[in-house]
Amino acid sequence: MNKFWSPLVKSLVPYVPGEQPKMVNLVKLNTNENPFGPSPKVIEAIQAELNDSLRLYSDPEGESLRQTIASYHGVKPSQVFLGNGSDEVLAHIFCALFQHGEPVLFPDITYSFYPVYCRLYNIEGKPVPLTDNFEINPEDYKQPNGGVIFPNPNAPTGCYLGLEHVETILKASPDRVVVVDEAYIDFGGETAISLVGKYPNLLVAHTLSKSRSLAGLRVGFAVGHADLIEALNRVKNSFNSYPLDRLALADAKAAFEDKTWFQKSCEGVISERERVTRALEELGFEVLPSRANFIFARHKSQSGEALAKGLRAQGIIVRHFNQPRISDFLRISIGVFEQNNALISGLKSLNMPAGNSRVQVKKGE
């Protein structure tokens, strides 16, 4: 705390991103990046932009990229909003489209940035408990609210909600905006973008960080009714008119154009996800059904904390959340074949005891 801080800053509890360790040779399975890397055409596109044009501002509307995204998803460019990563898109959504005097609903176990945005904009966040199976029950969202947001598939659980259930949530709050955060949708789910023509209260958020392997580029977007997009543009143009630089705009466009690379990359993640799931189940893990590029798993006898520490000692980094209901779970991003093998043998070497009581972490472990 400092006397120069505003009362707002004093009240903030910022989001803590997954670790980006400086050490090399780690098996890094902690931040849901895509291990297959971006398309070579994306690298070519960025190189083509490395010229004198960098002295000029980028297109504030990102028109060409919005057109590409619109035709990819069968909507109009006026229905597409671009942001510096979907985190920025989400921040603008909380500011522009939720009713700040009423509670915004989101699952109790979900993307931990949502409560952070609530505090930033002084919105009451109301966690809605997932079921005992860690699933979203659409019936639980039939209650007064200032807006609804949930990831689909959910993070960190990986569980997917079918579109008929998404529609139940949309129908329950026709006068409020419902945001479906589809950061992981390309790994086996069906996008709700097909519903934006039917529901003027639906906004779907996407990112290029996961399925298009461009986390370092920072490109996200939202698709919805043009009136919702206009609200987001009002906030964006009151904050930063040029959220995407020239390299990002050119690169993101190339990522959408290389459909073959995109499909191969998603299929690679999905088949490795199934292989890792089976291997972990054989080691005594319960693995929640995942449609994302990560799995969420707990061992029948070993604590999540002990396992995360044991893996870390071997240079394998996974994510552990020390929070109620999920402290026994590990969230493990799917890597390439060799990384996943390292994970599986790393777990085997921990000699996890069979039995039903969870083992506590030993001091110094």
Ligand X SMILES: Cc1ncc(COP(=O)(O)O)c(C=O)c1O
Residues that bind ligand X in the complex, under the rule CB under 6 A: 32, 85-87, 111, 151, 155, 181, 183, 207, 209, 215, 220
Gap between the Cα atoms of 294 and 331, Å rounded: 7
Closest CA to 212 of 60, 20, 45: 45
Residue 215 or 336: the one with the smaller Cβ distance to ligand X is 215
Residue 30 CB, shortest distance to ligand X, in Å, is 11
Residue 335 CB, shortest distance to ligand X, in Å, is 16
Residue 116 CB, shortest distance to ligand X, in Å, is 12
Residue 336 CB, shortest distance to ligand X, in Å, is 19
Map residue 39 onto helix, strand or coil. Answer: coil
Residue 182 or 299: the one with the smaller Cβ distance to ligand X is 182
Q: Provide the β-strand partners of residue 128.
A: 107
Q: Provide the β-strand partners of residue 330.
A: 297
Q: Provide the β-strand partners of residue 223.
A: 80, 204
Would you say 310 and 360 are in contact if contact means Cβ atoms under 8 Å apart?
A: no
Gap between the Cα atoms of 280 and 61, Å rounded: 46
Residue 243 CB, shortest distance to ligand X, in Å, is 12
Residue 149 or 279: the one with the smaller Cβ distance to ligand X is 149
Sign of CA dihedral 67, 111, 236, 250: negative
Which residues, at least 6 apart from 341, have a Cβ–Cβ distance to it below 8 Å? none
Structure-derived torsion over alpha carbons of residues 33, 111, 20, 268, reported in degrees to the nearest 10: -10
Residue 93 or 352: the one with the smaller Cβ distance to ligand X is 93
Residue 32 or 265: the one with the smaller Cβ distance to ligand X is 32
Residue 113 CB, shortest distance to ligand X, in Å, is 7
Residue 207 CB, shortest distance to ligand X, in Å, is 3
Residue 94 or 306: the one with the smaller Cβ distance to ligand X is 94
Residue 270 or 279: the one with the smaller Cβ distance to ligand X is 270
Would you say 82 and 235 are in contact if contact means Cβ atoms under 8 Å apart?
A: no
List alpha helices for 126-245, DSSP H: 163-172, 226-236
Residue 299 or 331: the one with the smaller Cβ distance to ligand X is 331
Residue 342 CB, shortest distance to ligand X, in Å, is 22
Which residues, at least 6 apart from 6, have a Cβ–Cβ distance to it below 8 Å? none
HSE, CB side, 13 Å, CA atoms: give it for residue 35. Answer: 21
Map residue 202 onto helix, strand or coil. Answer: strand
Neighbours of 353 (CB within 10 A): 12
HSE, CB side, 13 Å, CA atoms: give it for residue 298. Answer: 19
Residue 252 or 270: the one with the smaller Cβ distance to ligand X is 252
Radius of gyration over alpha carbons of the chain, in Å? 21
Residue 265 CB, shortest distance to ligand X, in Å, is 16
